[in-house]
Structure 1
Amino acid sequence: MKQQRWIRAGWPPIVVVILVLLLWQLAVTWGNTASWLLPSPLKIVTEGTTDMPRVWMHTLATIKIMLIGFVVGSGLGLVLASVLHIVPGFKAGFYPLLILSQNVPTIALGPLLIILFGFGVLPKIILISLVCFFPVTMATLDGFMQTDRMMYNYMLMLGASKRQIFFKLELPHALPFLFSGLKISATYSVMGAVIAEWLGGGQGLGYYMILQKSSFRADREFVAILVIVALSLLFFWLIALLEKWIIRWNVKRSS
């Protein structure tokens, strides 16, 4: 039954994508559109296959800084949310600054980070971390605030310490919210990595796109876009699988 529901829910978008690609191919073919202006889907696939070794090399470079930035930013977001929740007065003082930090465009921070830290990997990781930490922080804080108050008061009556309440009740309860933030950060990390590579560097999908733009290779630009989309979907799916495993394990252990 679950498989049938999945098939019924999954086939409409697949059909739409196939129709769009078919119309795209026919429009380019019948309209005699120049390939440097708008390549056909077949041209994009062919070019992606031909240039796959170089695309794969740049993809690995993007994955490397993406994962490092995601881990650092998500870890920072979890720690920051915990501190704001546990330490009295911290949330009132730092919460407005947390909101203001997201009003600065990411692409505007890149040049400043390059001036401060040079053209190495460090400014890229910082930029990705800044993109990733906010969704995790906000989602986890929301999870802490949604803790069951009856269970909270019950644990207080039993004499549980703040540390015990946090690790036994508040943190497990916030796990679904935490993973919601992680899934958002997973897609943001790919975007942040590409933007960081646009601003400086000698490898990665962002750098690859800049090279192809200078050469008016729209087909290779589309190849890079498809790889970026695939990375975002794959990373989101992996986080969703991890959520399913951890939340199920946590429920079984608690019961």
Structure 2
Amino acid sequence: MNTALKKGWRPILVLLLLFLLWEGIVRFVEAPSWLVPAPSLIFQEAYNGWSQFAPHLLSTTSLSLYGFAIGAAVGLAAAFLLHMLPFVRESVYPLLILSQNVPVIVLAPLLVIWFGFGILPKVIVITLVCFFPITVAALDGFKQTPADLKHYMKMAGATKQQLFWKLELPAALPSIFSGIKISATYSVMGAVISEWVGARMGVGVYMTLASSSFRSDRVFVAIFAIMILSLLFFSLIKLVEKLMVRWKWKETKAK
């Protein structure tokens, strides 16, 4: 705990210095607030307009959690399938890589055309953003299973399923959680992108309305909210990882 506190104050101090520098430069050059608002104006708008912004934030949060849960499930299922069936992995894995080369912002309008303005196209966007890091991380984790332990279990007569659940999956958990943490932060971005295309509520809608009316302070409020929400998701996944992969944290602490 003391170590975390000693390390935690440094980024906070750097962040405060950046805000002070930002405030000073804006006031010195007398930049118009609609172009580059000072941090003080942004925080003031966040406080005064919280009642208006909170429903949008709540909508994006629930959408992100819903999409992330589905994306994580799809990513893990895909990783398990590709790992257990090598011939499927050889056939499908290149297609998964190609799917990530298509910008999500390009797919989003097509999904709206195909599935309407409901929640389905938004969830598909978040799923497409989230599942790939988890699948790749899980597959890499399965490959890192200690060969000597794997050989020992095979000699002991372990079946392929026993080998997976007793050895390969536990060994891959650190890698899986690395992919989950990345996907958790991506889920917020995916939710905002899907809201840009078509939604009635959400941080993406709030940003669109603010930018169209040249309310840069509100745009920055939305940006800071996205950053904080992503950081919160990342911290929660990290806490779950610490509870589930205790042996890894003990090794790290010992080093």
TM-score after normalising by structure 2: 0.94
Work out the CA distance in 2 between the residues paired with 1:24 and 1:116: 44
Work out the CA distance in 1 between the residues paired with 2:80 and 2:231: 28
Partner of 1:214: 212
Partner of 1:231: 229
In 1, are the aligned partners of 2:130 and 2:187 still within 8 Å (CA)?
A: yes
Deviation of 1:117 after TM superposition, in Å, equals 0.3
Deviations 1:48-97 (A, max 9, x none): 11110121100110011101110111111101001101013111101111
| TM-aligned CA distance change 1:218 to 1:164, over 3 Å | same
4+ residue runs over 4 A deviation: 249-252
Q: Which amino acid aligns with 1:10?
A: G
Root-mean-square deviation over aligned CA pairs = 1.6
| TM-aligned CA distance change 1:251 to 1:225, over 3 Å | closer
Work out the CA distance in 2 between the residues paired with 1:225 and 1:60: 15
Give the % identical residues: 54
Work out the CA distance in 1 between the residues paired with 2:103 and 2:89: 24
Partner of 2:108: 110
The 3-state SS of whatever aligns with 1:89 is helix
Partner of 2:157: 159
**Pairing partner for 2:97 from 93, 96, 99:** 99
**Pairing partner for 1:67 from 65, 68, 84:** 65
Partner of 2:44: 46
Partner of 1:29: 27
Deviation of 1:250 after TM superposition, in Å, equals 9.3
Deviation of 1:34 after TM superposition, in Å, equals 1.1
The 3-state SS of whatever aligns with 2:140 is helix
* Structure 1 stretch displaced more, 19-28 or 223-232: 19-28
Work out the CA distance in 1 between the residues paired with 2:166 and 2:249: 12
The 3-state SS of whatever aligns with 1:22 is helix
Partner of 1:195: 193
**Which stretches in structure 1 are left out of the alignment for 5+ residues?**
none
**Which stretches in structure 2 are left out of the alignment for 5+ residues?**
251-255
* Structure 1 stretch displaced more, 109-118 or 20-29: 20-29
Deviation of 1:14 after TM superposition, in Å, equals 2.1
What count of residue pairs does the alignment treat as equivalent? 250
TM-score after normalising by structure 1: 0.94
Deviations 1:3-42 (A, max 9, x none): 1x33443333222221221121122223222111111111
In 1, are the aligned partners of 2:117 and 2:199 still within 8 Å (CA)?
A: yes
In 2, are the aligned partners of 1:172 and 1:250 still within 8 Å (CA)?
A: no
* Structure 1 stretch displaced more, 27-36 or 145-154: 27-36
Work out the CA distance in 2 between the residues paired with 1:146 and 1:28: 51
The 3-state SS of whatever aligns with 2:86 is coil
The 3-state SS of whatever aligns with 2:65 is helix
Q: Which amino acid aligns with 2:96?
A: L
